[in-house]
Structure formats: C-alpha cells, structure tokens
Amino acid sequence: MDFDFSFFLLIATVITGVIWGGYLLMRRPDADIFVDKKEPLIVEYARSFFPIVLIVLLLRSFLAEPFRIPSGSMMPTLLIGDFILVNKFTYGIRLPVINKKVIELNEPQRGDIVVFRYPKDPSVDYIKRVIGLPGDKIAYYNKKLYINDVPVNQVTLGAYQGIGQGEEMTGAEHRLENLSGIEHSILIRNGSPTVEGVFIVPEGSYFVMGDNRDNSNDSRYWGVVPEENLVGKAFFIWMSWDWQHKGVGLDRIGTVLK
C-alpha cells in the first residue's frame, strides 16, 4: 500500500462520507432532537467536502492524474516545469491505493511515455520512455540503441539550444530517433560516460530510458519496470512554468505527447 496523495484522498472520502451518512441515518423524521435544529458544524463541512473529494479521488484514480516534471531526464520532449496529464486507464483499471488491477485493457507499446513507481523506491514516481518490451534484447553501445540486434534509426538534427532550467544542455547533439514508427527527439552528450551492455527484458516487465540519454537514471542503471509498477501513459502538457527562468511557456501548453 502506498501512502501517497490518493491514500489521503481515500481517507478524507471515507471520513466525510461516514460523518455525513451517519448523520442522515440518525436523523429520523420522528426524532425530536433534530426538529428545527441546525446541522452541527462538522456535519456541514462533511456534507460540503464529501462530493468534492469523492470526485477528485475517482478522476485521479480512474481517468487522469496530473504530474509535474522536476528534472531534465526527458528533454527535449519534456522540460523542467512542464505539467502533464497521465491517462490512468490505458494500461488497465486499478484500484486506488492498493494498485491492484481489476480490468485488463491495453499493454504498453514501444515509444510510450510512461509514469511508473520507481522499483527501488515505490513511493517515488518516475517518467521515461518504453524502449524494450517483454522478451526483447536491448543493447546500448557508443550512444547507439539496438533492439533485437537491429540498430534503431537516428538522424542528427544539429546542436541543441537549451532554454530555462535546461540551458545546461545547450550544445548537446540533437537527434531524431524512430522507435517502431514513433519519432521523437533525444539528446546526446558525446564524451559523457554512460552504462553500456546487453539487457534481456523478462516477461511482465519493461525496459525504459530517458530521452536525455546522458542525463537519465533509467533501466540501464537499475533494471526493468515490473508491469504492476505502471501508473499510466503521459499524453498531454496542460501547463509549463519554469519559475527560475522563463516563466509560463505558452508555446508548450496543449502539446500532445508522443
């Protein structure tokens, strides 16, 4: 069980629901104690907040959940300060808090941007791109990616110009990568050390990497993501606010992620 925001939403829903529901059950028409008597303050609060927290809990648990990007590991696709929406039902319906899947739907596809609970510390959410599916052989050598012994096509676009808190990536090599038809930008720091090798993705797990290949703590370092750790698929930037530098990024609002 994860003691995250959803947990406290659930507790708030239960408490306000019990207070309001209990008061209604006790309030019989023939009960003199309730005749012409104002509701206790705690009941008024419970009646007001119960539908709000219930709706928020249902939306966050089964439809979409907002996240803020705190690091540059997914640059240039996602920038520090981007606020994204994550589809919570794409990969199946899960019960809140206990994260047990009750309805099977789709499976992650290569190229999906996914939010997941970090396997080394499930209380922390990570966001990366799916590179390897169950059974895949992933190799990474000399800044090049290979899937099942086939090199992934990459086209150099030139030097990257960073903005805001991502200015430190200025000068990195900007490449366009094609993952099974999904084209997306990546950044490479030639000369920067990185983990190389061959990785076999076990069943029920996924190999993930950041688009900022030399500035990403991903599957190359700590292994694969179990299916039960998946939170959802990122699909939309609804706000971008780099408070240290550029302020609100109006040009990024409404961006559909791919």
Q: How far is it, in rounded angstroms, from Cα 103 to Cα 166?
A: 39
Catalytic residue among 128, 143, 216, 219: 128
Burial bucket for residue 221 (CB in 10 Å: 0-12, 13-18, 19+): exposed
Residue from 6, 61, 73, 219 carrying the catalytic annotation: 73
**In contact, 113 and 77? CB cutoff 8 Å:** yes
| Known catalytic residue at 128 | yes
Active site residue 73: yes
Length of the chain: 258
- Of 49, 48, 27, the closest CA to residue 38 belongs to 27
Going across the sheet that includes 182-188, the strands are: 154-159, 173-179, 182-188
Start-end of H helices in the chain:
5-26, 41-62, 219-222
- Which candidate, 194, 231, 211, 236, places its Cα nearest to that of 129? 211
Report the catalytic residues: 73, 128
